[in-house]
């Protein structure tokens, strides 16, 4: 690991506790428990608090002897379904496994939370219970994207926490995304780009141009390199690590990429399914196809991370199986053990302070430009 | 062909003239001429006016005996490059092959235009010379998308004519896209969806919700079925034919899809390139891989169609080879021979009239709701 200045992590013997919602996923609690078994075997320092209906969960857990010492079951009567509206869950969600999962992070019992449930409801409950980080206006969901980079993944945010983003939000997404790339992807100095319809400076919407103009100043504080505008075709590119966009565009891009990969996989299967020779070839090509599958397997990139809250929350795909759940828990574990939240909060705070300095300087300069005011009195030093 | 009420087309012996810009593509005029050769062989009724530098083009054309009787060369001194800014080309573009290509459509010599050049400049010149169709506020670029539908393609617009779209624009995109699907893809009754971050009615941006609420009324006039919101994963879906979105989102989605397909193709090549057994398997799988290739070959879906102008313009990919150029010319030919523009104009006009009726009805109703006005006097019958 080459994490640079942020490489200090929890001491090698300290336990790392993750809070896991066992309910609300498409495949039910059995898939979550199977994922737990994988994770517990993989990370010796991992302990888990698992939330859900004990009538269902207790027998599933009891069947796995390895879990007994390291998994604590916390009963929750109710479940948030995929159909529940976020606003309803915010008002009436107490007593659900999702709420309880988030509260374990809020109360300091766990270092991060994982849920396969309803994304909108999870964001709503996380916002309500954990609150936004000081200085953050709009939280974001960051997802991984298979890429040509040596690490195999790029990062994109926001992919759907909100349907829009102002200039300030895009700048903050850059800071938060770079911090995540450093701590979650081990990229020592992340390269950040803004998603646009062309790479030329004059292209795109007004807010993107303004974010573009102001990004260099933010990059200095956020300890990343700004590479300028990138296009949809650059999402898997090796010239960028973190792609910043609003939640509407990011969500469409994410689902378009997943949909395209699925279409090609289906076409590939049909192509190899037609004719005896093809089937024979497919058998011989099995290793090659498996190698390909490993590189674009959506289960390996499972886990959208909520950034900008007082707590780390990993949203697993609703349809995640054991491998997918284990990947999401592994991501939460990695972020918790490097104390990602403290680092993120520190980055956001210093970026905010720098932004205030810059704003103050702009005010000072603007005042200095006005001939009838005394230079230097525009800023408010008590801010 | 099952084109329904719009199935009347140019009589079977009438010549169909297409205006082709030979310059400005990444592969130069040789690729365009090679594409011409393919197209001329494929469509007996096709004639071409080709625009560009005769010093370069004449020798290329003279080498192809089949072209002599059916291709007219029109000399143009200058070329629009990929680096030229649209605004500059609008002011100083006269005398370029692109300008001349569009003017042949404007002057009624050709039924449609094809260019591999700079997209922004082409849209600017087309807007300037052809002008917008009466009733169209914002033209759009429509592209094809490999899909699970029997025809093999879906249609998405706008993919980059502009970076935004208002409610009225989205409704017009639906009318224009449905007309294109009927005439270009031979879908008798197109199904239209609005691209959003979820399929539930309450999701997404305000303008999308308003377009959603008003789309049923437009569908009746535009002779299509409205299927509601669709997501990025639905772009290749068999439950929709036409996907409507703003040019920013559409452009990002298009390039994301292309980038994902390219990433997987590269990974597939690497997977099959590793190890002797894999190479042997690849050899056996060649037919399967070719079948796959044919279904997702971007050259086959080459050709973004500009909709909403007084003339049909097909933008070929800048890097198109002979196959790609021939596909773009074939698309232009198909649209010209069914007299797509007249049909599109008629659709837009009736949708506009219906919209005015609806607006008038809304005014009437609003007036009727106000107790102190006389019902029925709000509309202006001379509109």
Contacts of B301 in chain A (CB under 8 A): none
C-alpha B25 chain-centroid distance:
18
Could B252 and A268 be called an inter-chain contact, meaning their C-beta atoms sit closer than 8 Å?
no
**Closest chain A residue to B289, measured at CA:** A271
Contacts of A281 in chain B (CB under 8 A): 281-282, 284-285, 288
- Name, in order, each residue with C-beta under 8 angstroms of B122's C-beta and a sequence gap of 6 or more: B80, B98, B102, B115, B306, B313, B315
For the record, the structure tokens of A373 come out as 């005011």
**pLDDT at position A281, please?**
63
A13-131+309-338 matches A143-300+341-352 in fold: yes
**Contact call for residues B332 and B112 (beta carbons, < 8 A):** yes
**pLDDT at position A232, please?**
94
Does position B106 have pLDDT exceeding 50, yes or no?
yes
Q: How many CB atoms lie within 10 A of CB A12?
A: 7
Least confident of A187-191, A329-333, B9-13: B9-13
- Disruptive mutation site among A263, A291, A297, A298 for chain B (greatest number of B CBs within 10 Å): A263
Does position A377 have pLDDT exceeding 80, yes or no?
no
Contacts of A274 in chain B (CB under 8 A): 288, 291
Using a pLDDT cut of 70, give the percent of chain B over it: 81
**Contact call for residues A352 and A325 (beta carbons, < 8 A):** no
**Contact call for residues B124 and B92 (beta carbons, < 8 A):** no
Could A248 and B249 be called an inter-chain contact, meaning their C-beta atoms sit closer than 8 Å?
yes
Which residue from A356, A141, A274, A264 is spatially nearest to B296, judged by alpha carbons?
A264
In this prediction, residues A19-27 reach a mean pLDDT of 93
Top pLDDT among A323 and B379 is at A323
User: Which ipTM score applies to this complex?
Assistant: 0.83
How far B284 CA sits from the closest chain A CA (Å)?
Answer: 5
Does position B71 have pLDDT exceeding 70, yes or no?
yes
Could B204 and A163 be called an inter-chain contact, meaning their C-beta atoms sit closer than 8 Å?
yes
**Can you tell me whether residue A188 is helix, strand or coil?**
coil
Does position B372 have pLDDT exceeding 60, yes or no?
no
- Residue A5's pLDDT band (boundaries 50, 70, 90)? very low
**pLDDT at position A276, please?**
62
DSSP-derived secondary structure for A232-248: GGGTT-TT-SEEE--HH
- Residue B381's pLDDT band (boundaries 50, 70, 90)? very low
Top pLDDT among A191 and A278 is at A191
Does position B150 have pLDDT exceeding 60, yes or no?
yes
Q: Which fold has domain B141-299+340-383?
A: Isopropylmalate Dehydrogenase (3.40.718)
Could A259 and B148 be called an inter-chain contact, meaning their C-beta atoms sit closer than 8 Å?
no
| CATH superfamily name and code, B14-131+309-338 | Isopropylmalate Dehydrogenase (3.40.718.10)
pLDDT tens profile B327-364: 999 999 999 999 999 999 999 998 888 776 665 655 55
Domains of chain B, by residue range, sit at: 14-131+309-338, 141-299+340-383
In this prediction, residues A276-300 reach a mean pLDDT of 63
Does position A311 have pLDDT exceeding 50, yes or no?
yes
- Residue A295's pLDDT band (boundaries 50, 70, 90)? low
Nearest residue, CB atoms, B280 vs list A202, A271, A284 = A284
Contacts of B261 in chain A (CB under 8 A): 260, 264
- Across chain B, mean pLDDT equals 85
How far A153 CA sits from the closest chain B CA (Å)?
Answer: 12
Could B281 and A284 be called an inter-chain contact, meaning their C-beta atoms sit closer than 8 Å?
yes
**Closest chain B residue to A290, measured at CA:** B271
Does position B46 have pLDDT exceeding 60, yes or no?
yes
**pLDDT at position A196, please?**
96
Query: Can you give B32-47 as a three-state secondary structure string?
Result: HHHHHHHHHHHCCCEE
Contacts of B292 in chain A (CB under 8 A): 264, 267-268, 271
Does position A291 have pLDDT exceeding 90, yes or no?
no
- Across chain A, mean pLDDT equals 85
pLDDT tens profile A72-125: 999 999 999 989 999 999 999 999 999 999 999 999 999 999 999 999 999 999
**pLDDT at position B282, please?**
64
Does position A136 have pLDDT exceeding 80, yes or no?
yes
Distance CA A307, CA A162 (A): 12
Could B295 and A236 be called an inter-chain contact, meaning their C-beta atoms sit closer than 8 Å?
no
How far A283 CA sits from the closest chain B CA (Å)?
Answer: 8
**pLDDT at position A84, please?**
92
**pLDDT at position B319, please?**
85
Q: Which fold has domain A143-300+341-352?
A: Isopropylmalate Dehydrogenase (3.40.718)
How far B301 CA sits from the closest chain A CA (Å)?
Answer: 15
**pLDDT at position A380, please?**
34
Using a pLDDT cut of 90, give the percent of chain B over it: 63
**pLDDT at position A7, please?**
41
CA–CA distances in Å: residue B31 to residues B27, B70, B83, B96, B318: 6, 18, 20, 19, 11
**pLDDT at position B3, please?**
36
In this prediction, residues B225-248 reach a mean pLDDT of 96
- Disruptive mutation site among A144, A234, A252 for chain B (greatest number of B CBs within 10 Å): A252
In this prediction, residues A315-330 reach a mean pLDDT of 91
Size of interface A-B (CB pairs under 8 A): 185
- Residue B270's pLDDT band (boundaries 50, 70, 90)? confident
Nearest residue, CB atoms, B259 vs list A85, A233, A296 = A233
In this prediction, residues B51-59 reach a mean pLDDT of 96
For the record, the structure tokens of B316 come out as 């070929």
Distance CA A135, CA A155 (A): 22
Could A267 and B296 be called an inter-chain contact, meaning their C-beta atoms sit closer than 8 Å?
yes
Residue A47's region, left for phi above 0, alpha for psi from -120 to 50, else beta, is beta
Nearest residue, CB atoms, A296 vs list B264, B281, B289 = B264
**pLDDT at position A98, please?**
97
* Backbone dihedral angles phi then psi of residue B269, each to the nearest 5 degrees: -65, -45
- Residue A282's pLDDT band (boundaries 50, 70, 90)? low
**Closest chain A residue to B195, measured at CA:** A252
- Residue A361's pLDDT band (boundaries 50, 70, 90)? low
Does position A24 have pLDDT exceeding 70, yes or no?
yes
Does position A278 have pLDDT exceeding 70, yes or no?
no
**Closest chain B residue to A275, measured at CA:** B288
Domain formed by A13-131+309-338, architecture:
3-Layer(aba) Sandwich (3.40)
Query: Can you give B68-104 as a three-state secondary structure string?
Result: CCCEEEEECCECCCCCCCHHHHHHHCCCEHHHHHHHH
pLDDT tens profile A221-248: 899 999 999 999 999 999 999 999 999 9
Least confident of A46-50, B263-267, B291-295: B291-295
Top pLDDT among A124 and B367 is at A124
Helix residue ranges per DSSP H, A107-228: 119-130, 167-184, 206-222
Least confident of A94-98, A261-265, B9-13, B77-81: B9-13
pLDDT tens profile B188-232: 999 999 999 988 887 889 999 999 999 989 999 899 999 999 999
- Residue A368's pLDDT band (boundaries 50, 70, 90)? very low
**Contact call for residues A318 and A25 (beta carbons, < 8 A):** yes
Could A197 and B160 be called an inter-chain contact, meaning their C-beta atoms sit closer than 8 Å?
yes
- Residue B8's pLDDT band (boundaries 50, 70, 90)? very low
**Contact call for residues B247 and B162 (beta carbons, < 8 A):** yes
Contacts of B204 in chain A (CB under 8 A): 163, 248
Distance CA A165, CA B312 (A): 36
Contacts of A260 in chain B (CB under 8 A): 235-236, 256-257, 260-261, 264
pTM for the full predicted model:
0.85
Could A236 and B263 be called an inter-chain contact, meaning their C-beta atoms sit closer than 8 Å?
yes
């Amino acid at each position: 690991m080459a994490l640079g200045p942020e490489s200090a992590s929890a001491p090698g013997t300290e336990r790392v506790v993750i809070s896991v919602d066992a309910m609300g996923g498409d495949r039910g609690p059995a898939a979550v428990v199977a994922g737990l078994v994988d994770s517990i075997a993989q990370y010796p320092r991992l302990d888990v608090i698992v939330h859900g209906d004990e009538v269902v969960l207790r027998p599933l857990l009891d069947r796995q002897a390895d879990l007994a010492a390291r998994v604590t079951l916390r009963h929750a009567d109710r479940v948030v379904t995929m159909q529940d509206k976020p606003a309803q869950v915010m008002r009436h969600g107490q007593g659900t496994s999702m709420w309880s999962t988030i509260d374990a992070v809020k109360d300091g019992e766990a270092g991060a939370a994982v849920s396969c449930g309803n994304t909108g409801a999870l964001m709503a409950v996380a916002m309500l219970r954990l609150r936004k980080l000081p200085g953050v206006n709009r939280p974001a969901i960051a997802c991984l994207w298979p890429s040509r980079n040596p690490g195999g993944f790029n990062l994109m945010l926001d992919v759907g926490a909100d349907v829009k983003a102002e200039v300030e939000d895009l700048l903050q997404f850059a800071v938060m995304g770079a911090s995540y790339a450093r701590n979650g992807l081990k990229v020592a100095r992340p390269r950040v780009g803004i998603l646009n319809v062309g790479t030329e400076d004059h292209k795109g919407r007004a807010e993107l141009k303004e974010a573009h103009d102001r990004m260099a100043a933010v990059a200095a504080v956020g300890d990343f390199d700004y590479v300028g505008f990138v296009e949809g075709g650059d999402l898997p590119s090796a010239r960028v690590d973190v792609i910043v966009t609003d939640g509407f565009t990011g969500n469409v891009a994410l689902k378009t990429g997943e949909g395209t990969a699925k279409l090609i996989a289906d076409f590939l299967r049909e192509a190899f399914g037609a004719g005896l020779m093809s089937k024979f070839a497919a058998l011989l090509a099995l290793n090659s196809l498996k190698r390909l599958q490993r590189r674009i397997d959506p289960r390996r990139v499972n886990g959208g991370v909520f950034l900008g809250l007082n707590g780390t929350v990993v949203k697993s795909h609703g349809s995640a199986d054991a491998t997918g759940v284990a990947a999401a828990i592994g991501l939460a574990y990695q972020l918790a053990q490097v104390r990602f939240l403290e680092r993120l909060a520190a980055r956001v705070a210093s970026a905010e302070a720098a932004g205030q300095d810059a704003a103050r300087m702009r005010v000072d300069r603007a005042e200095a430009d006005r001939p009838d005011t005394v230079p230097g009195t525009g800023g408010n030093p008590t801010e």
